[in-house]
Structure 1
């Protein structure tokens, strides 16, 4: 893949040089950003740290109806694993950055911390043990751009910014609008999907705006399960879940003299379902031919922020308050609780989880003038209050062995946890001379459940020559253990060595978890370094290359599913008969991640009516296990084994290449996207396996049928790339029937080639 990248880059640079010689009138690529700096008016290529920008148009033009998939094929440092059977992973849509965990990337909306999922991913998939931000909660058509800061920034933004920051900037137009209809289907005839969305801006008062966005989306399930060799029929459902999503979002601003009142927010309703593992004939007398339980999360999500910005002379002040909440209720249907025999219902209320977050921010910023070549000083504080609760399911759901598929929530103690956190920071940027920018930030966060954490960050950028700069950052970071990780409690079915078992996930304070080696969680601590070079911008061209290294101590992970005679004895002593294995969260791991990221971009005019753009990106990532701590109570039972370790180190692609090219002439336009994913290693059923890299090519052609109306036809995964199949399924035929086509880690999904049509309008 490195050879492909170098050859493509060389061809790209040659074409750019020819374009310059031809005198092409190129547009600028130096977009102004607000992420990673508190200095106004700075372009992405002028920053001291690597920042990528995905424009709202680029996201929509990808043809993907959900934001996670769009970013996966646009950004080389982003990975979006397409989980196919796991209800928590497939129905919450976080992304990863630089091969780390979803909850190690901080997500902002308009520069303000957005709330995480209440749903914790406890399945065997990428992001296992994390509760990230669901990107489905922000409608794509309401996004102006997304800024991706590829650098640790906890000293600026607080907890979670170990891998970087994703800042979603909403549209803020006071007039005009956009509408779109999209429909798609896979070549195999399933997975039909459709989306309708509209976004419009209105004037508000004198010089204000109100931008409203509405989106509705639905998709049918896909199924790529193999024939179950035990019964000579398809028994599993493995693919994208059936889902229905509705979003409403707004962004508003109203000038009042030297001040501006602002507000923004979003409300989302999502209902989706996934199939659990097939239960064979004889498992329940209600289903003589066996049955496939369906888990259905029903999610409400809403968040909003109100604030005021004002100037006191040269001093800028921003005071805001935000609240966000994610609530998920689970139902399981087409199932049974075998402990109830023929009296068992076939559907159950399995309970639910709720996470809420209050955030108050005060930010002060003062440009430095008349000192050397200038700079900026900023200071501020933050108050954050979090709450996490679990609602127990109906008693029939968790009685005895529990409802097959998901016995649901029934904590031994009522779960309604909360905590407060306070923070203060100081951020300084100074130019000793015009060509040199130095920066430093320090921040202290105090949590009332584990204490304080101080982080720092230093940055530098030297513009060595016109169009060439060196840049670098070094700093520390942390991620507080989430309330979800500390207090989650549930019982569900899972696979272990290819066998279906019932697993209890227990809070670290639970006496049974303590008896098996659990202890209070500590915050993760990181140290990160980034060094890079920038060329451009000139004549519409920019090129960046960066090396990074991130060391993480006390990394929080979900333990192995602990079982065996010693565990059974502890469970029996506690009077527990409802599950066979136990897991809990632990700080058992230290890791180091390093890599190289390269981007290149050019855009310009090839003629009076012809515009072209090309973007290339490449990322190489390597994560290694530095230390695995032993189980302090049962040393013979490792807290993590191969499969769990691989999720933290090698289960995401080792490298990734992306390319986007567009050409518009008059009423016609063409677009091509390429994403080449490198190898990854995981252990889907029994042994570890290296999965080959795959390339996905998307093509689209558009035609303006009227001045503001455009029709697009597109094909995704043109060459029908599919992930490697699992080796050795014949060894576990008795458990799964050889039904699984691949593991949960694939970044390209299972669907194969698909087609879509879009109709867009501007008004």
Structure 2
């Protein structure tokens, strides 16, 4: 309760001072808040990420920052944020998993080719809670529990700021690859609404979305902005004909899903301070096909069956706070809360251990993650010191809780329900931990053209100890419109509670065969006997150096080189099996599974790359405006070290497939281009995303998949009274990822059903169409 008492005491102090003043908008920017700003290309986008100084443009920052507007996101025609960012951002990758229930229903993104949980996600500058669901499937982000971007309604977003630089010294754990800061709409009047419908070329995947957002004045200078959104999508299926049976037996594509969400952002001046609050609420349901079980597998389904996994996910996230200024010091105190719960059912299946008496529908249990975060930031401009600067101090207290609810006994007894035997931890899981942090950062201009910065932060977790990180930045404006910039620093990522305590038994694919695999916490005696050990935090060193040109005459250009070295990287081990594993299982009296995996700090990696962006916008004729932007990223990740299994040296903790997920399974290069032409009420848009090659092991053989390009076109017409009607085609040339190379018996074992691997950023749906009706008032 101490952090709640501290919150109340500072509230009283701020409200009681006779010298406090309402923080101006620049002050709000400096302490992690936001204001809606309309800017021309020559002015640049004002950002609040990566700095606590007020009113800074993205192009004036010492580190690369990209700004994606809510209008640009909506203009892609994608109803989910992950696919929109995948089209618009060259350093973002969004793998379109097509068969795995955990990866398909939790929609994180990756930055700079790293894992989803190595990118910190903020909402209005405050830490967002991660998924309760851990991705344990063979897909990008294997072993991670990132933030599900699908839990934030697109219609509630004013803009997104993407900081492409390690920032653990400013924000704490998880900011190894960078930071994604989602800024919610905060208008005090007006609103918008939209209806969107879509369908694929093959006539499936019908999608409908309805959303509305409106702002209202609150008191003298305050606001309440509310958003509601609902979306439903029918499934797609690109499974090939199963050659064993002459029919389609698998479901490979997007699941049937329904998502309802709401968001609110509010602020109210109260004398000399301002109270604020924001939050989101989301409910998701979907159904996903597991692996096909052949005829004879279960007496209940003599002709074979396809188990259906149905997760139901509830996500809540919110923050309340106060901000103000006392004697020239800006203060921001907030209390945040996050809650993510996922319950699972598996249907159209059977537990073969129960024979003909087996049910066909099971409650498989669920997982819950909670997070409470108290933040205090004090910031003071250094206007009278040299050429100016800013100094900030702050602290954070975070409490986390992770729990697993067991399913019904019929779901896990014996071999368990096929498809997903559910949760039945060998030991009950209800884990908690506390973490606190203190930090300071300073920016100073010795002369007007030179900006220097430094930050240091210490985080302490009660389950693994402390970590101190630092960051140094510099920027020199060598001439008008020409600057060089660079950063260097350290980072860390604490092992999540999900990675430390997750426990489940489920069906998985091994060498093209269905097997029963147990994922065990590292503290489990079986995991310890097979080489498990207490997890340590990941530690990183990062450096970025670049050049900035512009803005002038509507044009800007940036180029940055980066390098990120990560030690003790946390990864989900291989599915360990064979005689040695069978002997350990037998000694422990275990018959319900044949393979085991657990988390390990087995690898060190280094990722380096180059990122380039360019932008131009301007009038090309009366009432005609053209904007062009492009980006390119190239990266190379290498394995520096793989530690041997201390218990069974002949059984590697990670084999080729798992290593490729960390190094080569994401596109090595990516280019994006966006163009928009407006003439009077007409507009024409084009988006191009070109993905480079990537290498993975989809079944048994290692395969390099060729690069592919997706071109999207859209047109629109603005009617009277702020109404616009538009339509578009996505993936105009119907690009598809390469198929899985012929692998003999392995292909035969699945009947040749899989069109490609799980790693594709392009997806398997092919060409699709959308229409969109939007209104603003």
> Which residue of 71, 75, 80 maps to 2:89?
75
The answer to whether the aligner puts 1:727 opposite 2:745 as a matched pair is: no
> Which residue of 387, 390, 393 maps to 1:379?
393
The answer to whether the aligner puts 1:471 opposite 2:471 as a matched pair is: no
**Which residue of the partner structure matches residue 564 of structure 2?**
550
Say if 2:701 and 2:743, in contact at 8 Å, map to a contact too.
Answer: no
> Which residue of 492, 504, 519 maps to 1:490?
504
**Which residue of the partner structure matches residue 633 of structure 2?**
619
2:640 and 2:359 map into 1 onto residues whose CA distance is 49
**Which residue of the partner structure matches residue 174 of structure 2?**
160
**Which residue of the partner structure matches residue 676 of structure 1?**
690
The answer to whether the aligner puts 1:247 opposite 2:275 as a matched pair is: no
Q: CA deviation digits over 1:178-208, x for unaligned, max 9?
A: 0000000000000000100000000001110
1:621 and 1:351 map into 2 onto residues whose CA distance is 40
Say if 1:26 and 1:539, in contact at 8 Å, map to a contact too.
Answer: no
Q: Please list, as runs of the form range in 1=range in 2, the aligned pairs for 1:65-464 lying within 5 A after superposition.
A: 65-464=79-478
**Which residue of the partner structure matches residue 608 of structure 1?**
622
- Match of 2:744, SS? helix
Q: Quick one: structure 1 residues 27 and 548, their matched pair in 2 at CA, closer, same or farther if it must change by over 3 Å?
A: closer
Shift of 1:515: 0.4
**Which residue of the partner structure matches residue 532 of structure 2?**
518
> Which residue of 21, 25, 37 maps to 2:51?
37
2:347 and 2:110 map into 1 onto residues whose CA distance is 31
1:29 and 1:221 map into 2 onto residues whose CA distance is 44
Say if 1:26 and 1:604, in contact at 8 Å, map to a contact too.
Answer: no
Q: CA deviation digits over 1:251-274, x for unaligned, max 9?
A: 000012231100000000000121
- Match of 2:54, SS? coil
1:705 and 1:588 map into 2 onto residues whose CA distance is 59
Q: Quick one: structure 1 residues 85 and 29, their matched pair in 2 at CA, closer, same or farther if it must change by over 3 Å?
A: farther
Shift of 1:730: 3.4
1:533 and 1:653 map into 2 onto residues whose CA distance is 24
1:349 and 1:380 map into 2 onto residues whose CA distance is 45
2:84 and 2:43 map into 1 onto residues whose CA distance is 21
- The TM-score normalised by the length of structure 1 is 0.96
**Where in structure 1 are there 5+ consecutive unaligned residues?**
1-24
1:392 and 1:29 map into 2 onto residues whose CA distance is 56
Shift of 1:538: 1.2
**Which residue of the partner structure matches residue 9 of structure 1?**
none
Say if 1:181 and 1:760, in contact at 8 Å, map to a contact too.
Answer: yes
Q: CA deviation digits over 1:566-596, x for unaligned, max 9?
A: 0001101111111110000000000000000
Shift of 1:603: 1.1
1:201 and 1:40 map into 2 onto residues whose CA distance is 25
Q: CA deviation digits over 1:363-414, x for unaligned, max 9?
A: 0000002211010000000000000000000000000000000000000111
- Match of 1:232, SS? coil
1:729 and 1:516 map into 2 onto residues whose CA distance is 30
Q: Which moved more, 1:598-607 or 1:441-450?
A: 598-607
Shift of 1:283: 0.4
Q: CA deviation digits over 1:512-536, x for unaligned, max 9?
A: 0000000000000000000000001
**Which residue of the partner structure matches residue 21 of structure 2?**
none
2:474 and 2:438 map into 1 onto residues whose CA distance is 23
- Match of 1:643, SS? helix
Say if 1:63 and 1:714, in contact at 8 Å, map to a contact too.
Answer: yes
Q: Please list, as runs of the form range in 1=range in 2, the aligned pairs for 1:566-585 lying within 5 A after superposition.
A: 566-585=580-599
- Match of 1:168, SS? strand
2:721 and 2:551 map into 1 onto residues whose CA distance is 32
**Which residue of the partner structure matches residue 506 of structure 1?**
520
1:580 and 1:228 map into 2 onto residues whose CA distance is 27
**Which residue of the partner structure matches residue 15 of structure 2?**
none
Shift of 1:241: 1.0
Alignment root-mean-square deviation, CA: 0.9
2:412 and 2:46 map into 1 onto residues whose CA distance is 54
Shift of 1:26: 6.7
Shift of 1:56: 0.5
Shift of 1:734: 4.2
**Where in structure 2 are there 5+ consecutive unaligned residues?**
1-38
- Match of 2:223, SS? strand
**Which residue of the partner structure matches residue 34 of structure 2?**
none
1:625 and 1:285 map into 2 onto residues whose CA distance is 47
2:404 and 2:743 map into 1 onto residues whose CA distance is 37
Shift of 1:27: 4.3
1:178 and 1:349 map into 2 onto residues whose CA distance is 40
> Which residue of 48, 54, 75 maps to 2:62?
48
Say if 1:711 and 1:760, in contact at 8 Å, map to a contact too.
Answer: yes
